[in-house]
With several copies, the nearest count.
Chain A
Amino acid sequence: MDSRMETTIAGVTWKNPVTTASGTFGSGREYGELIDLNRLGAITVKGVSEEAWKGNPVPRLAETQSGLLNSIGLQNAGAELFIENDIPFLRQYDTKIIVNICGHTLSQYCAVAERFADCDIDMLELNISCPNVEEGGLSFGTDPHVVERVVKAVRHYVKQPLIVKLSPEVTDITEIARAAVSGGADALSLINTLRGMKIDIHKRKPILANKIGGYSGPGIMPVALRMAYEVCHSVDVPVIGMGGISTFEDALQFIMAGAEAVAVGTANFHNPYATVEIIDGIRQYMKENKISSLEEIRGCID
């Protein structure tokens, strides 16, 4: 343990600023075979909805150059099974638990938030990139008014610090960030995936059964970093940066842009040790550059 890497977000202290990006790490169980989960600052679990969601048809994955498209469709077994199986599993480890929640309607969001209110978890992350089924299927996260409304509604039920996870598919990310904060977000995380497509020219059809999927990985990092930088300079709550982070150098760029912490997603698929290598790399960088607290470099880009 190394207190120089401690990071406090909305009152919750992580042992280091590295968590997993929702949906890429399950609830940690599977990666726990390969790495020591105690090493992580926090584990952000895959999206959980009130009831089970079946997810999208397969194929759900397409590789692109330095990136990945996915259309999992937030398949999950629902809050009840999650609470029964995954929370006790995660509580065995000395790491913070962040539960990512999703819904297709305002009331689904509220229901799942309420379900977790009295659970033994550390933070709640609200994924607002889900399609808003009641209003034509556009993502909740693209309209500042809708964002403020859904955050406010959920806030009412939540007892843990609330992270709102932003969609990058907007004209002005700072407007959405401000809306989330004024709705009551204690922290923001960004970015969720960009939507992308890939076509198999031999079969003459899209690779994903769903045609369009969420684009993640190194290919989105320049956009993610720019947006994290913009958001850090426009709101006062802490920001968890993500999008393509694969190395400690990548993670430090987000921290220098002002992020309090970072999440590692697609990189886990390319290198299952990515999270721990990033933690070790940050520590090493701090040592070599005689940095005794991340505050010394956090937000150093003005």
Chain B
Amino acid sequence: MSTYCTATVINHKEIVPGVWKMELAAPEIAKTARPGQFIQLYPPDERNLLARPISLSSISKMSVTIVYRVVGKGTKQFSCLQVDDMVHVMGPLGNGFTLLDAGTQNVIVGGGLGIPPLLELAKRLHGNTVVLLGYQDDPFMAEDFQRLGLEVHIASQSGNYGFHGNVLDMLKNITFPVGQIFACGPRQMLQSVSMWAKEHNVPIQVSLEERMACGLGACLGCGVKIQKHGEQDWRYLRVCKDGPVFSGEEVVWNG
């Protein structure tokens, strides 16, 4: 069950240049939210009709926390919100990650702004979890994962931080048998990690993005090409309702 309500900003700060972390008091949403779900956040300037989908990064009893990058008009407006300001929000939305039984070797793979949605997942995963985080340059939130006591590896494209390269390279270097993968980040990254997973016969869940209008599954705006096992052909499923988390094998990447 999702709700549409007004949430109050209770914490808001820029964690690295252009990337903001915002905590919203929204008990109704927090109550039922699961890792991998998202909210629709409505820009205060009503010339912008559409809400912006932003993943839940962490979930507490009364509030949810999101981490977002300022890329355009909507996120620019969010970054101007002050503590105690109110904002319209709908959620929790989407399917979230599927948490399997304990005892597996989990690998969490995050790239850039795909990292925040993985934090709540990391908290809740059973079994052993290794976290691979890739950045353009400046890392952020790595310490949040470390604080959970997990093994965290960092890569940066610039080579200024951690491993010089991308998460795929780090994944290839893993020596133990990977049980399952959870990935979120740029499409290119998700595709290459999914290819690797397929080759190695490892189940993988990926969280995808697409432009949204309703966020509820009604408008069919947010299509992603999915070919289910045993189906003849792909069809467009809805990122907002059937996703955002899909099996990496079922996504038709080249299209």
- Contact check, A270 vs B42: say whether CB atoms are below 8 A apart: yes
Question: Which residue of the partner chain A has the closest CB to B210?
Answer: A58
The stretch from B94-102, B104-112, B190-198, B212-220 touching chain A is B212-220
- Contact check, A24 vs B49: say whether CB atoms are below 8 A apart: no
**Interface Cβ pair total, 8 Å cutoff:** 103
A side interface size, CB within 8 A: 36
Interchain CA distance A268-B215 in the complex, whole Å: 11
Question: Which residue of the partner chain A has the closest CB to B217?
Answer: A30
Contacts of B221 in A (CB 8 A): 60-61, 70, 72
Contacts of A62 in B (CB 8 A): 211
- Set B216, B222, B236: member contacting A31, Cβ < 8 A: B216
Q: How large is the interface on B (under 10, 10 to 19, 20 to 34, 35 or more residues)?
A: 20 to 34
Q: Is B54 an interface residue (CB 8 A)?
A: no
- Given known A-B contacts A66-B47, A269-B51, A33 and B2 have beta carbons under 8 A apart: yes
Interchain CA distance A63-B43 in the complex, whole Å: 12
Q: How far is the CB of A197 from the nearest CB of chain B, in Å?
A: 16
Contacts of B206 in A (CB 8 A): none
Contacts of B174 in A (CB 8 A): none
Q: Is A54 an interface residue (CB 8 A)?
A: yes
Interchain CA distance A26-B224 in the complex, whole Å: 17
Question: Which residue of the partner chain B has the closest CB to A23?
Answer: B219
**B interface residues, Cβ below 8 angstroms from A:** 1-4, 42, 46-51, 90, 210-224, 235-236, 241, 255
**A interface residues, Cβ below 8 angstroms from B:** 23-26, 29-31, 33-34, 46, 52, 54-55, 57-63, 65-68, 70, 72, 75, 217-218, 266, 268-273
Q: List 22 A-B contacts (CB under 8 A).
A: A23-B220, A24-B214, A26-B216, A30-B214, A30-B216, A31-B216, A31-B218, A33-B2, A34-B3, A46-B218, A52-B235, A58-B222, A58-B224, A58-B236, A60-B222, A60-B223, A63-B49, A66-B46, A75-B223, A269-B50, A269-B213, A272-B214
